[in-house]
Amino acid sequence: MNSSELRTKFLDFFEKRGHKIIPSASLIPKDSTVLFTTAGMQPLVPFLLGEKHPNGKRLVNYQKCLRTDDIEEVGDDTHLTFFEMLGNWSLGDYWKEDSIKWSFEFLTKELNIPIERLAVSCFIGDQNAPKDQESADIWEGLGVKKERIAFLPKKDNWWGPVGDTGPCGPDTEIFYWKLSDTPIPKKFDPTDKNWVEIWNNVFMQYVKDSNGNYSLAEQKNVDTGMGFERTLAVLNGYTNIYQTDLFEPIIKLFPGHFDERKKRIIADHARASMFLISDGVVPSNKDQGYVLRRLLRRMMVHMRELSATELLDPIKKSIEMYKNLYDLDEDKILLVVKEESNKFEKTLATGLKAIEKIDTINGKEAFLLYETYGFPLEVLEEIRVVESREGFFEELKKHQELSRTASAGMFKGGLADHNIETIKLHTAHHLLLAALQEMFGKEVKQKGSNINSERLRIDFSFDRKLTDDEKKRLEDMINEKIQEGLEVIKREMPKEEAEKIGAESEFGVKYGNTVSVYFIGDKKGIIFSKEFCGGPHVNNTSELGKFKIIKEEASSQGVRRIKAILQYKLEGQNVEK
Ligand code: SER
């Protein structure tokens, strides 16, 4: 199946069921609390809150979306910055029954997916909202087996609001078993990555207010979203999204021997930049303009290594592929790219020369290089080791007047957003550093970190691969600390005192005279971890769930990288509060 078939089938299916096709909104939201449109429902928020939509109560579309959270994962098999989302909505009209039934019918009848390949998850319930048995019953009624229905907590089966307040609710997610050469497991294991989420039906029954309270919405809505590229890839049995006809023409511009990851980054960044410019963004040092600048420059650095290809080719190809679907001003797009390229070319060669003899750069130096030669941080990280990237953002913030939300959305360095999952992973990050030092000695130092709502990442000084046994022991040690229910306490103190008691500080970061230190320890006063840190953290390690290392790899010479997650608890276990 190609992209235009999937697109057309989706729109036709819902049009036949009374939905009006609405055009994709701009990537730049009218509401300025977020930088980009990240989901199909976002432009519809006023209508989800009760305003009358000129096209009625049933809507369907494909929406341009951009998410920067995973910008550094782009180049692997599944992550993108720009993507399209197929969605259908009920604005106070049909509810769970029709929504689930139609999704099921579309997948099994229109796309001919055998029911054996599908599994679903529903919301398990918590203090804010009850368990969504209703959705599960509807799925069962359609023939989905009980063992293919999982109940999961808020982290997995709740959507929204976008930003801090607004419509939100429990969702039911549909998964597809992507392997074709292995038997499909009878039971649905949501942690098995071969079950790929393809569609999300959100039942917007609640509105979250600025005090964090959930109240029942006056109008109950359905919001569904299907990740277009990802669904297309799995339906075709591809192992990665770049094999789809949405990317293949761009990837093909490059010789086969050229580094696969770089080709993918170019393809992703070309598409994203093209759409951003088309929606009125120009490269700058702020907000959306800065994101565009990073995308374009990173693409340019990779293109430079491929002197055979014209810089504008991937952009031109993207325009060609989408011009029948979206309004695109080709001349303007090419002009903006050309201008940015001229600017960057001027300083790029001098900049590369300036860092020729340097292997390692700290955050502050990275910022100076950005100011002088225009290297965005990601570009520098591609070519040199950047230690303590947080320092970069500190400097950047000093030089910019950035709104809080804008900077949170834009810079996923360090601790970018403060949702509860991120906060938990932040505490787990402290436990991990302490555990590493407990096992390998105090010489092990943190060299970098990055936390989002899904995983933590730590870079630390260590000169060899960890054995399976060591990884297991680290996990055990941390899970033990979680089970012990240690208190997490913050104290402000003079910097000298914090240093004297041996609190962990990050190399290369400048601290003020008074610092805050987070202690994790037991009631008897035995301290497991103490770190200079601004927070926030959970109050007690018992809030964390189960700690698991998902990857251990080399980051650079003498620096290893660990990625880890906190696993939710399955039904039957003590569910998170
Ligand atoms: N808003 C939901 C999502 O982004 C469903 O459209 O997944």
pLDDT tens digits for range 464-501: 999 999 999 999 999 999 999 999 998 888 888 888 88
Going by CA atoms, what residue is nearest to atom 3 of ligand 1?
225
Burial of 413: CB neighbours in 10 Å, binned 0-12, 13-18, 19+: buried
pLDDT higher at 105 or 536: 105
Q: At what angle do helices 3-16 and 228-235 cross, to 10 degrees?
A: 110
The set of protein residues with a Cβ atom below 6 angstroms from ligand 1 is 39-41, 87, 159, 200, 202, 223-225
Distance 279 CA to ligand 1 centre (A): 22
- CA 554 / ligand 1 centre spacing (Å): 35
What's residue 510's pLDDT?
Answer: 67
Region 247-271 average pLDDT? 93
Report the distance separating Cα 431 and Cα 485, nearest Å: 12
Burial tier of 404 (Cβ tally within 10 Å: 0-12, 13-18, 19+) = exposed
Residue nearest to atom 2 of ligand 1 (CA): 225
Helices (H) and strands (E) in the chain, counts: 18, 19
Q: What Å distances lie between residue 280 and 117, 268, 276, 292, 365, CA to CA? A: 42, 19, 7, 11, 32
Residue 404 has pLDDT above 60, yes or no: no
403: pLDDT strictly greater than 60: no
Between residues 391 and 108, the one the model is more confident about: 108
Domain 420-569, classified CATH 3.10.180.10, yes or no? no
Query: From atom 4 of ligand 1, which residue's Cα is the shortest distance away?
Result: 39
CA of 171 to the centre of ligand 1 (A): 9
Structure tokens at 308: 């055979």
Backbone angles phi, psi at 34, to 5 degrees: -125, 155
Query: Which residues, at least 6 apart from 61, have a Cβ–Cβ distance to it below 8 Å?
Result: 11, 21, 22, 23, 24, 40, 86, 87
CA of 575 to the centre of ligand 1 (A): 24
Cα 409 from Cα 69, distance rounded (Å): 8
Write down the domain spans for the chain. 3-243, 260-343, 358-408, 420-569
Q: Which of 123, 198, 200 to mutate to test the pocket of ligand 1 (most atoms within 8 A of CB)?
A: 200
Q: Which atom of ligand 1 is nearest to the CA of 85?
A: 6
Residues whose CB falls within 8 Å of the CB of residue 250, separated by 6 or more in sequence, listed in order: 266, 267, 270, 271, 314, 317, 318, 321
Name the helix (H) or strand (E) containing 355.
none
Pocket test for ligand 1, best of 24, 34, 85 (most atoms within 8 A of CB): 85
Average pLDDT over residues 265-292: 93
Tally Cβ neighbours within 10 Å of residue 199.
23
d(CA 367, CA 375): 9
Average pLDDT rounded to a whole number, residues 27-54? 88
567 φ/ψ sector (left φ>0, alpha ψ -120 to 50, else beta): beta
Distances (CA, A) of 232 to 83, 180, 315, 321, 492: 12, 15, 22, 16, 52
pLDDT in tens, 384-395: 777 777 888 787
Least confident interval from 103-107, 231-235, 300-304: 300-304
Report the C-alpha gap between 130 and 136 in whole angstroms.
Answer: 13
Helix H or strand E segment including 47: helix 45-48
> What is the Rg, in whole angstroms, of the alpha carbon atoms belonging to the chain?
24
- The encoded tokens of residue 153 equal 């907590």
- Contact criterion met (CB below 8 Å) for 261 and 75: yes
Measured in Å, residue 347 CA sits from the centre of ligand 1 at: 41
- Name the burial class of residue 193, with classes exposed (0-12), middle (13-18) and buried (19+) by CB atoms within 10 angstroms of its CB: exposed
Which tokens hold the place of 486?
Answer: 């240690």
Model confidence at 568, in pLDDT bands (50, 70, 90)? low
Give the per-residue pLDDT at 355: 81
Span 320-336, average pLDDT: 95
Q: Can you name the residues that pair with 548 across neighbouring β-strands?
A: 565
Q: What is the mean pLDDT of residues 22-44?
A: 88
- Taking residues 427-456, report their average pLDDT: 91
Predicted pLDDT of residue 211: 84
Alpha helices for 89-132 (secondary structure H): 96-105
Angle at 574 between CA 572 and CA 577, to 5 degrees: 130
Residue 72's pLDDT band (cuts 50, 70, 90): confident
Alpha helices in 389-449 (DSSP H): 390-399, 404-410, 420-440
What string of DSSP letters covers 233-299? Answer: HHHTT-SSGGGSTTTHHHHTTS-TTS-HHHHHHHHHHHHHHHHHHHTT----SSHHHHHHHHHHHHH
| Dihedral (CA of 296, 297, 302, 306) sign | positive
Residue 280's region, left for phi above 0, alpha for psi from -120 to 50, else beta, is left
Statement: residue 149 has pLDDT above 90: yes
Assess whether pLDDT exceeds 90 at residue 16: yes
pLDDT at 309: 62
Q: Among 121, 202, 203, 205, which residue has the most ligand 1 atoms within 8 Å of its CB, making it the best to mutate?
A: 202
3-243 folds as BirA Bifunctional Protein; domain 2 (3.30.930)
Ligand 1 centroid from CA 88, angstroms: 10
Q: How far apart (Å, rounded) are the C-alpha atoms in residues 507 and 200?
A: 43
- Residue 386 CA to residue 392 CA, distance in Å, equals 9
Nearest-CA residue for atom 6 of ligand 1 = 225
Question: What span, in angstroms and rounded, lies between the C-alpha atoms of 227 and 200?
Answer: 9
User: Which letter, b or e, does each residue of 153-174 get, where b requires 16 or more Cβ atoms within 10 Å of its Cβ?
Assistant: bbbbbbbbbbeebbbbbbbbbb
Q: Is the peptide bond preceding residue 170 cis, with omega within 30 degrees of 0?
A: no
The ligand 1 atom nearest the CA atom of 40: 6
User: What's the one-letter identity of residue 482?
Assistant: I
Average pLDDT over residues 306-328: 89
Report the separation in Å between the CA atom of 176 and the middle of ligand 1, taken as the mean of its atom positions.
17
Which pLDDT score, from 0 to 100, does residue 399 have?
67
Ligand 1: centre distance to CA 89 (Å): 11
When pLDDT is cut at 50, 70 and 90, the band that residue 418 belongs to is low
Query: What pTM, to 2 d.p., does this model score?
Result: 0.71
Cα torsion for 133, 138, 142, 145, to the nearest 10°?
A: 0
- Which candidate, 126, 121, 282, 311, places its Cα nearest to that of 198? 121
State which amino acid sits at residue 104: F
Cα angle: 250, vertex 256, 257; to 5 degrees = 130
Residue to mutate (ligand 1; options 24, 41, 66, 157; most atoms within 8 A of CB): 41
